[in-house]
Amino acid sequence: MDDIPSAMYDKSDERQCLIYRGINPSVMRLIINTGKGGVGKTSVSVATAKRCADMGYRTIVMSTDSAHSIADSMDLELNGEITNVMPNLDALEIDIITEMNRRWDDIRRYISDLMMSQGIGGMTAEEMAIFPGMEMIAALMYIIDFDKNDRYDVVVMDTAPTAETLRLLSFPDISNWYADKMFGLLKKLMSIARMTIGKFMDMPLPTKGVMQTIELIKDQMNEAKRILEDPKKTTVRLVVNPEKMVINETKRAYSYLCLYNKNVECLIVNRVYPKGIQGEYFENKYREQEKYMELIHQVFDPMKMMFSEQMPSELVGWDMLDKLADNIYGDTDPTTVFSDRSPMSFELIDDIYKITMDLPFTDKSQVELFRTKDDSIIVHVGSQKRNVALPDSMRHSTMIGAELKDEKLILTFKKEEFL
Ligand SMILES: Nc1ncnc2c1ncn2[C@@H]1O[C@H](COP(=O)(O)OP(=O)(O)OP(=O)(O)O)[C@@H](O)[C@H]1O
Ligand SMILES: [Mg+2]
């Protein structure tokens, strides 16, 4: 997909940039930068966002990392609200307590009442905020809102190190499963209570508002999944350094991201020592990196790669971030979709249904498959798992094949014949 035209960096004609972009300008572009701790995700995210804003795109850089540092990188202060930091550029560090109070106070109050009824004591927003996944749901809700209301052309997301990002990206699947179970349970509770003329143990019943909020979360997670799995809209970029451990973690992250059907379209190799660098320490570093650069190519070719050099000082403030953006992108538009292929595809030919999933760097021994009662397939790869729902037409089908070949997992199903 390298032939998609990329815009030149031309501030004088902002509309032109949008037209050259090679994708419909009304499509919001979500760029998620992820990678191992300390590789440069925050610096790359803020530099990317600034470059997009300079090019005329309405841009926001947001952070889902609870140890926020986009404000530090820009050398500014942020307060959990969307803040305009320069023309065309907003920034947001998600503050989960603010989000709890704003979005889910009815659920918190219900859980708190439920706990009080059982003599456990209430729950504050601060206590509820420690539930895993709250930041992720909030981040996903912002994204849905930005997409629906056409608020930004580009959303750049700075994330916590890899494991956390994987959780974010798998969240719509997992949270839907929870919401389904919780919703079913509460509905049952309400109907029993109705039958017993409103009196059912000493438990408070969920209010209409609580039920509506849960239903809304469910709908929104489906919407989030649609956005995150649209390869023209959402791009995951892996930030990597030429170091052995970083490369290994990046390989794992890549296969898990494929498992979650996310379009990993680009590798940003950061902190590369430049050729001809003077001094014994740096010359040694350069030589050491050379072999890891080779390894990066062996492992990730033909994926699009961009490179940025090891800078002589810390990347804080706009000037340094501009230098980093120059280094990474040169004249290339950071919003270019370098590849728009989904790692997962579905095919129905007559009564045979085939699911093909890219699973790079994965060995047979790492893959386990389970079929659930509600007819979805759970694919375990290493420490990660994905719930793949079968379409309604393939419910009650028989799995007739599962093979891992050429880094692809191919599952085939046959419709059951009812005589
Ligand atoms: N190309 C570079 N040249 C010099 N310093 C760099 C470069 N890239 C990043 N840094 C510095 O490395 C440190 C870590 O960078 P950054 O905070 O962007 O990484 P991160 O991946 O977001 O880290 P974390 O996982 O902790 O969130 C910062 O001090 C940053 O200024
Ligand atoms: Mg960071």
Q: Give me the CATH number covering residue 365.
A: 2.60.40.790
Tell me the average pLDDT across 194-204. 56
| CA torsion through residues 243, 249, 251, 257, sign | negative
Q: Which residues contact 207 (CB under 8 A, 6 or more apart)?
A: 106, 110
Q: Check whether residue 142 and residue 34 sit in a common domain.
A: yes
**Ligand 2: distance of its center to the CA of 329 in Å?**
20
63 is a domain residue: yes
273-288 residues labelled b (16+ CB within 10 A) or e (exposed): beeeeeeeeeeebbee
Q: Which of 247, 239, 252, 237 is nearest to 339 (CA)?
A: 237
255 is a domain residue: yes
The pLDDT tens digits for 248-261 are: 999 988 988 888 88
* Residues, Cβ < 5 Å to ion ligand 2: 41-42, 69
Ligand 1, atom 12, residue with closest C-alpha:
40
105 is a domain residue: no
pLDDT at 47 over 90: yes
Q: Would you list the DSSP string of 14-72?
A: HHHHHHHTSS-TTS-EEEEEE-STTSSHHHHHHHHHHHHHHTT--EEEEE--SS--HHH
Q: Check whether residue 62 and residue 157 sit in a common domain.
A: yes
Q: For residue 55, give both structure tokens.
A: 């090019």
For residue 204, whether the previous peptide bond is cis, meaning omega lies within 30 degrees of 0, is: no
Q: Check whether residue 323 and residue 378 sit in a common domain.
A: no
Q: Ligand 1 in contact with 271 (CB < 6 A)? A: yes
Q: Check whether residue 258 and residue 286 sit in a common domain.
A: yes
Full-prediction pTM beyond 0.75? yes
Distance CA 281, CA 303 (A): 31
Q: For residue 143, give both structure tokens.
A: 């994204």
Q: Ligand 1 in contact with 159 (CB < 6 A)? A: no
**Ligand 2: distance of its center to the CA of 41 in Å?**
5
As for how many domains the chain has, the answer is: 2
Domain edge (last residue) among 329, 355, 388: 329
Percent of the chain with pLDDT over 70: 77
Contact 207, 106 (CB under 8 A): yes
Domain edge (last residue) among 299, 329, 359: 329
Q: Check whether residue 158 and residue 294 sit in a common domain.
A: yes
| Residue in the block written with tokens 């504050």 | 124
Residue 166 pLDDT class (50, 70, 90 cuts): confident
Residue 161 pLDDT class (50, 70, 90 cuts): confident
**Ligand 2: distance of its center to the CA of 92 in Å?**
14
Query: In terms of residue numbers, what domain contains 40?
Result: 14-99+133-170+226-329
Contact 8, 331 (CB under 8 A): yes
The pLDDT tens digits for 277-332 are: 778 888 888 899 999 999 999 999 989 999 999 998 888 999 999 999 999 999 99
Q: What is the CATH number of the domain that holds 95?
A: 3.40.50.300
Pocket test of ligand 1: the residue of 32, 43, 46 to mutate, having most ligand atoms within 8 Å of its CB, is: 43
Contact 59, 152 (CB under 8 A): yes
More confident residue, 308 or 135: 308
Report which DSSP code applies to 252. Answer: H
Q: Ligand 1 in contact with 270 (CB < 6 A)? A: yes
Q: Check whether residue 287 and residue 385 sit in a common domain.
A: no
The pLDDT tens digits for 360-395 are: 999 889 999 988 776 778 888 888 888 787 777 777
Pocket test of ligand 1: the residue of 269, 315, 329 to mutate, having most ligand atoms within 8 Å of its CB, is: 315
Q: Ligand 1 in contact with 2 (CB < 6 A)? A: no
Domain edge (last residue) among 329, 352, 368: 329
Q: Check whether residue 153 and residue 65 sit in a common domain.
A: yes
Q: Check whether residue 253 and residue 301 sit in a common domain.
A: yes
